[in-house]
Amino acid sequence: MKLPRLLQASNSKGVLAEKRALSYLQEQGLYLVCQNYYCRFGEIDLIMLDQDTLVFIEVRYRKNSNFGGAFASINNRKQRKIITTAKHYLSSLDNEPFCRFDAVAIGSESTPPAWIKNAFQE
């Protein structure tokens, strides 16, 4: 089970992977809206703006590609949790913007992050 960021050590692999993903996405022109949005349905690692699109981003760290790698770990159950959590976030907004769900895989320091836009849909 993934703990909310507030309960993780600041140097844990998950927190460091999220920081690296955030930095990478900001270099690509995305703007941070919210980090580690947490509600009773689950957590979304990063919520960012890509021009006029609100992007819900799942960050996955995997040391290697055994067992399918980082992207394979975002199974249907995890996708449903992210979608439900995103709907909860959107319910707090006055207007619902165009949205998408992305995924970022973080590996070793020598490997650049892998970013999949529209990694899954509702």
Looking at residue 100, its pLDDT comes to: 98
Looking at residue 103, its pLDDT comes to: 95
Expressed as residue numbers, the domain containing 71 is: 5-120
pLDDT digits (tens, 9 = 90+) for 81-118: 999 999 999 999 999 999 999 999 988 777 889 999 99
Distance of alpha carbon 113 from its chain centroid, rounded?
13
Q: In terms of pLDDT, which residue wins out, 7 or 85?
A: 85
Domains contained in the chain, number = 1
CA pair distance 115, 55, nearest whole angstrom: 12
Q: Are 17 and 106 in contact (CB under 8 A)?
A: yes
pLDDT digits (tens, 9 = 90+) for 24-49: 999 999 999 999 999 999 999 999 99
Say which CATH number the domain at 88 has.
Answer: 3.40.1350.10
Q: In terms of pLDDT, which residue wins out, 59 or 1?
A: 59
